């Protein structure tokens, strides 16, 4: 049971809050590399409740600042991205990507560039198609985590962003709440008709798996355990990696390299960064019946409202609370869909936004099906309080290799195999960027 006070600690991410301070010790995905064009328009970003301006300079380097100019606080959104820096539109002061003041053209005396005049620039790096931001205090940021899907940039890799209008934690919890899949997503799918070679069939047929959980060096992990054919067992694994990553299951573990980052825009809005190395289709994962036809209602290409310059103007789906996510009651009635909402991502969107901007966890009645949700929020709560009270951080901050073997996916093993042994064996024979294929720099 989470108290109202604990819920505040878990969910609030502004500067100075325990969870906000913890998150600022990690690299945070800010946007796609492709969203920032050399000498292109400055872009408004909001992360962890802070209003920021992002731009790419002439040489291709990325700068991300507090949006207020250090001179008299005009927004640098109105600035000019000029040769090698951004120039404030109010009095023409110019700053390079590190925040150094290059020019103060309105200052009459020759005592220009006073010491300490710097834009509030954060440390930035790029990897695998993403721009990462470090909002902590260290002069040298810690290393990027060795997350498989961020380590490569192949032609098949897809990164899809989606804004969700609710708190980051209730969105993340949906990613580790595995038993909802059998209802929200496939509640009306006939599992006996699913392709026999697709282990997701067990997830469709068996609605009440045993949930195994454990804490790890990088966060938490679970398996959903179900009986399989021929005296075998099916496990569906996923891991939570501090502070907001989930390596989710969408294929056999041996070749599934995917993750979601649940990045707080502010306390009530989340940007989902969905990265899939082998299935960059921009659509939801789907299922097939034995006759080769696709199960209807699961896959839907993400379509977005027109992008705006607003702080919340990027990657907003057309399906929204305002149109009830295109809910079709007839589909719900005739059994072609459990929800009447098309697309796995939009089904999750509807449900998680329906809980309110920040769910009141003191009202919940959790069950054994929620063991991973409970363990993960307890781990987060402990990490936030430890950092607040002692300055101690999860090891993954300074030891990026710890999450190398955090992967989601399905396996089928002999009945009675220990679930963690089964995981280790599967990872040892897995393929992917860190398991046989060369990782990108």
In this complex, which beta carbon is closest to ligand FES, that of residue 86 or of residue 359? 86
Residue 344: CB minimum distance to Fe ion, A: 6
Quick one: what does residue 88 bind among Fe ion, ligand FES, none, with the CB cut-off 5 to 8 Å set by partner type? Answer: ligand FES
Distance CA(389)–CA(305), nearest Å, equals: 43
How many residues touch ligand FES under the rule CB under 6 A: the total is: 9
Sheet arrangement for strand 85-87: 80-82, 85-87, 94-95, 101-103
One residue of 8, 90, 296, 439 binding ligand FES per CB under 6 A: 90
Locate 437 and state its tokens: 């294929």
- List the one residue from 22, 69, 259, 331 that touches ligand FES (CB under 6 A): 69
Minimum distance of ligand FES from residue 113's CB (angstroms): 13
- What is residue 32's three-state secondary structure? strand
Contact call for residue 88 and ligand FES (CB under 6 A)? yes
Q: Closer to Fe ion at the Cβ: 29 or 174?
A: 174
348 binds, among Fe ion, ligand FES, none (CB under 5 to 8 A by kind): Fe ion
CB of 122 to ligand FES, least distance (A): 18
* Residue 346 lies near ligand FES (rule: CB under 6 A): no
Instruction: Mark the segment that binds ligand FES (CB under 6 A) among 68-76, 182-190, 379-387, 400-408.
Output: 68-76
Of the pair 93, 273, the CB lying nearest ligand FES is at 93
- Which of ligand FES, Fe ion, none does residue 371 bind to, with CB < 5 to 8 Å depending on kind? none
Residue 284 interacts with Fe ion (CB under 5 A)?
A: no
- At 274, phi and psi to the nearest 5? -100, 120
CA torsion 327→333→334→339, rounded to 10°?
40
74 touches ligand FES (CB under 6 A): yes
User: Considering the rule CB under 6 A, would residue 93 count as an interface residue with ligand FES?
Assistant: yes
Span from 67-75, 251-259, 329-337, 369-377 in contact with ligand FES (CB under 6 A): 67-75
Quickly list DSSP for 66-86. Answer: ESB-TTT--BGGG-EEETTEE
* 209 exposure class (CB count in 10 Å sphere: 0-12, 13-18, 19+): buried
Closest C-alpha among 29, 259, 269 to residue 168? 269
Task: Detail the DSSP E strand segments found in 229-361.
Answer: 232-241, 245-247, 258-266, 269-276
Return the number of the residue (98 or 353) whose C-beta is nearest ligand FES: 98
Whichever of 13 and 88 has its CB closer to ligand FES, that residue is 88
Structure-token pair, residue 190: 């006939």
The verdict on 290 binding ligand FES (CB under 6 A) reads no
Instruction: State the burial class of residue 65 (Cβ atoms within 10 Å of its Cβ: 0-12, 13-18, 19+).
Output: buried
3 state SS of 427: helix
Is 91 a residue that touches ligand FES (CB under 6 A)? yes
Bridge-partner residues for 236, per DSSP?
224, 410
Asked if 348 is part of the footprint of Fe ion (rule: CB under 5 A), the reply reads: yes
Q: Binding pattern to Fe ion, positions 291-330, x when CB under 5 A?
A: ----------------------------------------
CA distances from 276 to 65, 161, 295, 362, 432 (A): 29, 12, 21, 35, 12
By CB under 6 A, what part of segment 171-230 binds ligand FES? none
The encoded tokens of residue 381 equal 């709560």
Inter-residue contact 94 to 88 (CB < 8 Å): yes
- Look-up: residue for tokens 């990782």? 439
Contact residues: ligand FES, CB under 6 A: 69, 71-72, 74, 88, 90-93
Contact residues: Fe ion, CB under 5 A: 348
């Amino acid at each position: 049971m989470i108290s109202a006070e604990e819920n505040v600690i878990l969910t609030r991410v502004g500067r100075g809050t325990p969870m906000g301070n913890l998150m600022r010790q990690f690299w945070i995905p800010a946007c796609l590399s492709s969203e920032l064009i050399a000498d292109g328009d400055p872009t408004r970003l909001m992360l962890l409740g802070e209003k920021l301006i992002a731009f790419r300079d002439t040489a291709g380097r990325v700068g991300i600042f507090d949006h207020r100019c250090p001179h008299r606080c005009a927004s640098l959104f109105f600035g000019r991205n000029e040769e090698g820096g951004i120039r404030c539109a109010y009095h023409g002061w110019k700053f390079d990507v590190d925040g150094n003041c290059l020019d103060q053209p309105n200052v009459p005396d020759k005592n220009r560039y006073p010491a300490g005049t710097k834009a509030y620039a954060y440390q930035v790096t790029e990897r695998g198609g993403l721009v990462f931001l470090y909002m902590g205090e260290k002069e040298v940021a810690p290393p990027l985590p060795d997350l498989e899907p961020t380590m490569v940039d192949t032609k098949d890799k897809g990164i899809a962003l989606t804004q969700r209008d609710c708190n980051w934690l209730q969105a993340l919890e949906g990613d580790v709440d595995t038993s909802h899949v059998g209802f929200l997503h496939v509640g009306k799918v006939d599992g006996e008709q699913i392709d026999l070679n697709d282990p997701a069939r067990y997830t469709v047929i068996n609605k009440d798996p045993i949930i195994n959980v454990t804490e790890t060096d990088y966060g938490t992990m679970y398996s959903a355990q179900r009986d399989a054919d021929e005296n075998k067992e099916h496990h569906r694994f996923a891991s939570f990696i501090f502070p907001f990553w989930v390596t989710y299951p969408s294929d056999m573990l041996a070749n599934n390299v995917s993750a979601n980052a649940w990045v707080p825009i502010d306390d009530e809005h989340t940007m989902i960064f969905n990265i899939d190395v082998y299935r960059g289709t921009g659509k939801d994962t789907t299922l097939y019946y034995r006759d080769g036809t696709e199960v209807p209602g699961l896959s839907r290409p993400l379509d977005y409202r027109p992008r705006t310059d607003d702080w919340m103007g990027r990657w907003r789906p057309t399906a929204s609370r305002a149109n009830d996510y295109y809910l079709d009651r007839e589909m719900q009635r005739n059994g072609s869909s459990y929800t009447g909402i098309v697309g796995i991502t939009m089904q999750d969107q509807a449900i998680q936004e329906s809980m309110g901007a920040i769910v009141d966890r003191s009202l919940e009645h959790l069950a054994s099906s929620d063991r991973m949700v409970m363990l993960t929020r307890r781990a987060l709560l402990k990490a936030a309080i430890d950092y607040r009270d002692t300055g101690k951080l999860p090891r993954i901050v300074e030891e990026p290799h710890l999450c190398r073997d955090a992967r989601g996916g399905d396996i089928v093993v002999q009945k009675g195999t220990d679930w963690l042994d089964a995981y280790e064996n599967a990872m040892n024979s897995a393929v992917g960027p860190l398991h046989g294929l060369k990782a990108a720099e």
